[in-house]
Chains A and B, each alone.
Chain A
Amino acid sequence: MAEVFARLSSRAIALGLGTLLLVAACSTGGTTGNQGASSTDVTVWTAWGGDELKAFRDVLKPFTDKTGIKVHITTNRDSTNQIANGIAAGTDLPDVAPGPTDPTQVKSWVSKGALKPIETALGSDQFKSYIDNTYPALTTPPSGQSDNPYIGVINGKHYFLMVKTQVKGLFWYNKKVFTGTAPKTFDELLALNPSQYGGAKNIFCAGFESGAASGWPASDQIDNIIMRQSGDQIYTNWIQGKVKFTDPAIKLGYQTFLKEVSGSTVFGGSNTALSTNFAKAGDPLFNSPPGCLFLEQATFIANFFHQNKGVTAGTDFDFFAHPSMGKTEFDGNVNGFYDQFSMYNDTPAARQLLQYLATKDAQQIWANAGGTLGAIKTLTYNDPIYKRAAEIANGAKNLLVTAGDFMPSDMQKAFWQSLLNVTRDPGSLDSQLKHLDQVQAAAYTTS
């Protein structure tokens, strides 16, 4: 019995081993990366999904139609980690993907040759017009410096291609409710009496919940305060860990922020602000009676108003810019952020893709789709909201990045959560700030 069994198995083994080897040979040859096809295919990783992804595909359609290059898009919210692992292990990297936000990583990846210069991708002519046409704050380091890792400029070379922009710190209101003039200063804003406007309950609505990233809307609010209260130098140094959280300037920022989320100023009290998802935070603007007068949020919120409440930009709702904190020299500081792509593999197809994305035609498709500003200054926007936002971006003296996004990730987490904690317990401010100093001391070191 065992003999039969064994004889049977021997044949089966031969078959199995043979096929397995054959298969191994086939699979390794077939699908590892796309090295041979690099003038006809390009792999793109992006964090975009849903409507953003749809808009991106619309942008790419003319490109693929014209050049026949196949663009393989993967939505990957973990791309920085994966690319870091890939660099360390020597595996294939995607051709085009977002660059890292951490300044140390930007420098490190540039020195390892993982990031390829945009100058190379675009060629000198197109690169020059890219620089001329894009918002200067996105491409040019402050004068006298050759580096700005936040916008991907290292040793005078650019490693980020800017494609989209958002403006933050805008105050959105229901046109049928708030019929007054936009307050020019923060104090004027706080002095408003909501019940005068349609019986509104509170001045502000807020929603800080965002799953694993909860707290980022709060970070936007405090960033806009600090940059106008204490100026861009202190703001930028603070992002780099050179200004402590217990510094009077930052503490003042927190205290001012707390005025925006106190029980009397924010709709539903602090628990509601903490529990409400940012996308729904503005819905009470359109209730009757209105829950609040204003929501502070970036340009992209206009889409959510439309989706949730069916209201139209310009007719039903509008925004005004962040009021001054009283220091006119800092009023030109505007908070924005951008979407960008970096090139990791210098292939003909990747170059062509980036060249296309840098054109006005490509970015105009994004502008037409709505929900965002492009990075090029001269795009036309049908939507009155985005037209005005573009003017703000254009007129900004400094378009400053969002602090939390550019801090080391452990610092970012502690920072965001400190905002949630002080919203919940305003009395804990001092201990929170002290704690943040501790985190800061450890986060910016390399051990």
Chain B
Amino acid sequence: MDQIITAAVAVVAVPLVLLGYIVLGERVIEALPDRLQVAIRPYFWALPAIGFATIFMIYPLVRTVIISFRNSEDSDWIGFANYKYFFTFPDTLTSLRNSLLWLIFYTSISVILGLVIAILLDRVRYESLAKIAIFLPVPISAVAASIIWKFMFDYQAPGTPQTGTLNALIGTIGHEPVAWLINSTTNNAALIFVGIWTVTGFCMVIISASLKAISTEVLEAARMDGANEFQIVRLVVTPLLWPTITVVGTTMIINALKTFDIVYVMTNGAYDTDVIATQMFSQLQHSHYGRAAAVGVVLFIAIVPLLVVNIRRFQQQEEQR
């Protein structure tokens, strides 16, 4: 019972406290000389966010970097040995290759689908309903999604009734059942497809929110000028959505690199489907903290260029407004 009270108070108190923080803080800042104001204000506003990030992410990141140079008993420095392991060990190399596949296909297809679906749905009356359909896989946990797709990919011996939807479908055209998750040619694609299936709704919702902010006047003007629908999408809508697409794309790239649940629950990386995160997990389980840390650091470094691109675009955005 006290939990409920705590929660209720938190829900009310936190926004109030932040409100007070902003209002009172601003009153104090406004009383300061101009130059001091401009210098202090940004830190004041960003302090809660930076504070949280420091405790929960920055300090652990620093610790991770340090651990990546030590052995798993944390008793000795071993230089770049963990990094060397990561880049030369065949298992980790396979996982790198697979993560690259995820990076390319998962990201591009889910962003493109999200964009296309958002644009298409914007044009029909039953948009809300269709949105729910596409969004439906998103709230499903990875374990549940794996159950769903186990039903879809299920394989029974040839000649026996198929319980898997896909094998039943190809059975109707006389094709032998396929062991989707075991066969090397199909398994990575199958897993990546499940990933895309679960996340397209997310891309669609975020892009749709930005799509709605595009004024119809702009679109009408383009139509007046004689542009057809395809041209409008290509030359007017997409450029306006580009900032959001970049954000969604970056998030998808990070998601692709971090993909763990789907691969873990469906195959745990068997039959060459391993990805970076599942590799790392098995290292962690055996307390190879150093190796797991090295992977974390490599991932962080890998996305920094991506973020620099984002920063550049934000700067463009600022120049334009």
Contact = CB atoms under 8 A, between A and B. Distances in A.
Interface of A: 5-6, 9-10, 12-13, 15-17, 19-20, 23, 26-27, 30-31, 80-81, 84, 102, 104-105, 211-215, 267-269, 271-272, 274-275, 291, 408-411, 413-414, 416-417, 420-421, 424, 435, 438-439, 442-443, 446-447
B165 interface: no
A9 B24 contact: yes
B182 interface: yes
B282 A5 contact: no
10 contacts: A16-B12, A16-B20, A17-B17, A19-B13, A80-B285, A81-B284, A275-B182, A413-B268, A421-B271, A447-B81
A121 B267 CA distance: 41
Interface string B67-109: 0000111000010011001000111000000000000000000
B182 A274 contact: yes
A16 B19 CA distance: 10
A240 B16 CA distance: 59
A19 B13 CA distance: 7
Given A9-B20, A269-B157, A447-B71, 7 more contacts: A16-B20, A17-B13, A81-B284, A275-B155, A409-B286, A410-B285, A411-B286
Contacts of A212: 264-265, 268
A274 B266 CA distance: 13
B90 A271 contact: no
B9 A19 contact: yes
Interface string B265-278: 11111110000000
Interface of B: 2-3, 5-6, 9-10, 12-14, 16-17, 19-21, 23-24, 27, 71-73, 78, 81-82, 85, 89-91, 146, 154-158, 160, 179, 181-182, 264-271, 282-288, 290-291
A201 B242 CA distance: 60
Nearest to A411: B286
Contact of A271 (B9, B179, B266): B179
Contacts of B271: 417, 420-421, 424
A438 B89 contact: yes
A446 B285 contact: no
A102 B283 CA distance: 13
B284 A12 contact: no
Contact of B27 (A6, A12, A27, A420): A6
Nearest to B76: A447
Contacts of A80: 285
Contacts of B287: 84, 102, 104-105
Most buried by B among A215, A421, A424: A424
Nearest to B180: A275
B2 A26 contact: yes
A5 B20 CA distance: 10
Contact of B91 (A9, A15, A414): A414
A412 B122 CA distance: 50
Contact of A413 (B146, B157, B179, B269): B269
Contacts of A435: 90-91
A30 B6 CA distance: 11
B282 A447 contact: no
Most buried by B among A5, A104, A417: A417
Contact of A10 (B6, B20, B85, B182): B20
6 A-B pairs with the lowest CB-CB distances in the bound complex, closest first: A13-B20, A268-B157, A16-B16, A409-B285, A275-B155, A212-B268
A215 B270 CA distance: 9
Contact of A23 (B10, B19, B81, B179): B10
Contacts of A410: 282-283, 285-286, 288
Contacts of A102: 286-287
Given A13-B19, A421-B271, A272 B9 contact: no
B155 A271 contact: yes
A158 B84 CA distance: 40
A272 B89 CA distance: 31
Contacts of B23: 5-6, 9-10, 13
Most buried by A among B27, B264, B286: B286
A16 B13 contact: yes
Contacts of B3: 27, 31
A9 B5 CA distance: 22
B271 to A, nearest CB: 7
Nearest to A421: B271
Given A9-B23, A438-B89, A439-B91, A23 B13 contact: yes
Contacts of B21: 13
